[in-house]
Amino acid sequence: MKMTKACLFDLDGVIVDTAVYHFQAWRRLANELGFDFTEHQNEQLKGISRMESLELILKWGNVTLTEEEKIERATRKNAWYLESVMQMTPNEVLKGVPEFLKELRANGIKIALGSASKNSRLILEKINMIEFFDVIIDGNNITKGKPDPQVFLLGAEATNCKPADCVVFEDALAGVRAGKSGGMRVVGVGDPKILHEADFVINGFEEMTIDRLF
């Protein structure tokens, strides 16, 4: 039986659902470029970086931009996204998350964030959750996006825990694969059909207890 010493959480879709704000901002950008994309396509953007997302979207629209134009468009998208983030409140924290984090803390288990987002600290502050996290590893710390395990390996290192002693919580297949390739156990949060590579899948944190970690 493995002992869990640290839990590493993705942000979007796990702690809080900001995916809709990303979708709205990316779709606005696509519309400006003369095309549209679907919510189904948007699933492919989960867990990957801003520039990787832009490259996928441009491919869908068969649009070519210079590197300078890509940076300008990605920056504009982020500004629109941040307008939505600034309106966020603690009511947007997903059900069961605060209770589970309190249970982890009460049992001495380290809590880390492992997110591709460069806005993670701002989001955690807006939803009054930043004090729960011992470690924050995000898009400002990493050079490789998921499914590369870098973000989670850095999180494990920062908590002074071995990967085998860590459990990752992820809502995206790229994130599940990142955790598994990093040698960690992974709990999927969401659709079991999409997250079938996880060790097990929960619909939400209302059904998650510390006993299920061991």
Residue type at position 41: Q
Q: 136 in helix, strand or coil?
A: strand
DSSP state of 177: H
**CA distances in angstroms from 4 to 174, 188, 191, 209, listed in the order given:** 22, 16, 24, 13
* Residues with Cβ within 8 Å of residue 108, at least 6 apart in sequence: none
Q: Phi/psi of residue 146, each to 5°?
A: -60, 145
CA angle 14, 18, 20 (to 5 degrees): 120
10 catalytic per annotation: yes
12 catalytic per annotation: yes
Set 12, 138, 165, 171: catalytic member: 12
Set 10, 138, 165, 171: catalytic member: 10
Residues recognised as catalytic = 10, 12
